[in-house]
Amino acid sequence: MNLTIAAQNFILDRRARGLRPATIDTYQRQLRYFLTFAHDAGIDNTGDVDVYLLRRYLAAGLQRGLSPASVRTAAQCLRAFLNWTVAEGMAAASPMARVKLPKLDAPNPDAFTVQEVQALLTAATTPRDRALVLFLLDTGARLGETAALTVGDVDLVTGRVTLRTRTKSRRPRSVFLGKLARREMAAYMEDLPTPGALWWQSFDEDIILTAHGLQEAIKRLGRRAGVHPCGPHKFRRTHARWCLRAGMERDDLRRLLGHSNESLLKYYASLDDEDLLAAHQAHGPVDHWLTER
């Protein structure tokens, strides 16, 4: 079968299965890149895709400077597509079965320092920006979850925020705001229309901030504060690290972050030098066991 038609049918199958829009977008983007590469190599049918074409494609991505994680994502999308062509009878076997995925470097997630957060708050000259910084830091909510919030989702009395849409599990979950974050949110929400969206670019022009708009607002704030990089997911990583440092149980953090299992916390919970220094000071073997008495 023609590769382009097969890819279109594969995306249709993903839509019919109800996959998340972001997941479908990833499949579409990765397949578009691969189809261009295959066409340039003279391959236009599913049955002609072989292990050598796939290896050349992945190697080309690494040679262009893509990270191993990005190339691995491309390989995983191709594996799902080619397995689907086998299930649909378009190919006898998937050549991806013989292709090893790129090895990944150990995760080293970046998080804000206390000084960087203070710099962001100093640079936040509007109630919205101050509220946004503390909201992201105190809840650990994802960008899409944050952008989808309405005024009614935030209870300023209890601090409960109900994330109803764009959650990965597709089920509502609760996150919480502390006293300082609630105070800044109250100052920002004082003049917001109720009911209505939570995050606005301009009341006068009736412009609501989308996820992309929130991301750009955060990047602009980072530039003003001299904090780089400054992206929405960095707030989520910082939230997780600070919660663990403060003694929060991992299972409680897992539920707050909306993860299905604890293994997904590994990326957020890796220790930095500051954590390791504190651990060594408390438990270092020489000072602990050989201190002169």
Give the per-residue pLDDT at 60. 95
Give the per-residue pLDDT at 269. 61
- Which residues make beta-bridge pairs with 2? 45
Distances in Å between the Cα of 180 and the Cα atoms of 55, 132, 134, 156, 159 are 53, 12, 8, 11, 10
The position carrying tokens 């897992």 is 254
Q: Where are the domains of the chain?
A: 3-98, 114-273
CA distance 230 to 218: 7
Give the per-residue pLDDT at 145. 92
CA distance 23 to 67: 19
Give the per-residue pLDDT at 83. 96
Give the per-residue pLDDT at 21. 84
pLDDT along the chain (293 residues), means of 10: 94 93 92 96 92 96 90 95 94 92 72 94 95 95 92 94 76 91 95 86 76 94 95 90 84 83 63 66 70 55
The domain made up of 3-98 has a fold known as: DNA polymerase; domain 1 (1.10.150)
The domain made up of 114-273 has a fold known as: hpI Integrase; Chain A (1.10.443)
CA distance 25 to 20: 9
